[in-house]
Amino acid sequence: MGMSSNWQHKLMLVLQIVVVVALMASNTAYGVGNFHNDFESTFGGHRVQISGPGNSQLALNLDEGSGSGFRSKKEYLYGRIDMQMKFVAGNSAGTVTTLYLSSEQSTGVHDEIDFEFLGNVTGQPYTIHTNVYSQGQGNREQQFHLWFDPSKNFHTYSIVWNPKLIMFLVDETPLRVFRNYENHGITFFPKNQRQRVYASLWEADDWANKVEQ
């Protein structure tokens, strides 16, 4: 029911992205500006639209056929990603926008760092959902509400991942710090597997279908 009313709105996510990945091994940092060079579509076909000067902007679209998504061509072991995003406006209930890092999922023991944004009805706040997987184990969810309307302007959403901690930030404000407590005997921390950067826009009610694409 909720779904059919959503489709009367033009569901569109516009992302303008700045990715800075610091590779710990070489101590080099570089910016990624061109989506054609550094990213590839994961699903949604023509719904992934690259545009702007130097192909620096990417729009993800969601319609009754499918959502859409993309990922980095490279994998990274530790890094920081800053993504400037503008979310679906108006009635965005049922939409899920994701920014996450993940290692190869087919291994069954994959690592993942999730930063997800759940839409809401007009005028109500988006929910931020965070989670961490290590060796295929998750259940480390924490949720927050966004304190501004993320559909009005671009804001910067960041994941910092290093051997000591994982940090989720919004416009440089740390929302959550997830520490590596292996010195205290707790071994739950993604630290061995390289991960790609992923982003997607999809419809939660239809999650089972979308995830296979």
Ligand X SMILES: *[C@@H]1O[C@H](CO)[C@@H](O)[C@H](O)[C@H]1NC(C)=O
Residues annotated as part of the active site: 112, 116
Cβ atoms 13, 61 nearer than 8 A:
yes
User: How is residue 162 written in tokens?
Assistant: 């290093």
Q: Minimum distance between the CB of residue 118 and ligand X, rounded to whole angstroms?
A: 4
Of residues 119 and 190, the one with the C-beta less far from ligand X: 119
Of residues 43 and 144, the one with the C-beta less far from ligand X: 144
Rg, the chain, Cα only = 17
What residues have CB less than 8 Å from 163, skipping those under 6 apart?
Answer: 24, 78, 180, 191
What residues have CB less than 8 Å from 188, skipping those under 6 apart?
Answer: 132, 134, 137, 140, 181
CA distances from 82 to 69, 94, 161, 202 (A): 17, 25, 12, 21
Of residues 59 and 96, the one with the C-beta less far from ligand X: 96
Q: Minimum distance between the CB of residue 6 and ligand X, rounded to whole angstroms?
A: 13
Of residues 74 and 176, the one with the C-beta less far from ligand X: 176
Cβ atoms 45, 118 nearer than 8 A:
no
Of residues 91 and 103, the one with the C-beta less far from ligand X: 91
Return d(Cα 44, Cα 67) in angstroms, integer: 6
Q: Which residues pair with 127 in a beta bridge?
A: 118, 145
Residue numbers at the binding site for ligand X (CB under 6 A): 118, 120, 124-127
Q: Is the dihedral angle over the CA atoms 80, 73, 112, 186 positive or is it negative? A: negative
Q: Minimum distance between the CB of residue 95 and ligand X, rounded to whole angstroms?
A: 9
Q: Minimum distance between the CB of residue 132 and ligand X, rounded to whole angstroms?
A: 21
Q: Minimum distance between the CB of residue 86 and ligand X, rounded to whole angstroms?
A: 17
Cα 211 from chain centroid (whole Å): 14
